[in-house]
Amino acid sequence: MERLLADNRRSSTRHDVDVPATIAVGTGSNEPCTIKNLSLGGALLDIRKLAMGERVVLTFRIPTIEDPIQTAAVVRWSSDDGIGVQFDGLRARDVWALGKYFETL
């Protein structure tokens, strides 16, 4: 139920993707994961369960920008199907690049 409510509060459209990424949890090393859907506000990641409220750093590449996008995020929900993260804020160039990327989907 909580996850359904969170879905209804989204301010950005989610786009189905299959983007390789890495996630840094706490002071640990980067772990590989896959972004399954993506928006300007957050993402669904195919990765092991993490604690709700856990702070992470997500790094990924998209074809509309040369440099990787790296953003801090917080885990909003976690299940056997993956985790949902909310971005702390994207740089202007990353917002532009994501907007262009979403136009190609």
Q: pLDDT band at 26, cuts 50/70/90?
A: confident
Residue ranges of domains in the chain: 2-104
Tokens of 38: 């993506």
Q: Which residues pair with 31 in a beta bridge?
A: 23
The CATH class of the 2-104 domain is: mainly beta
Percent above pLDDT 90 for the chain: 81
Tokens of 13: 């459209």
Task: Summarize pLDDT for 41-92 with one digit per residue, the tens.
Answer: 999 999 999 999 999 999 999 999 999 999 999 999 999 889 999 999 899 9
Nearest alpha carbon to residue 76 among 46, 98, 55, 47: 55
Counting Cβ atoms within 10 Å, is residue 98 exposed (0-12), middle (13-18) or buried (19+)? buried
Given a cut of 60, whether residue 9 has pLDDT beyond it is: no
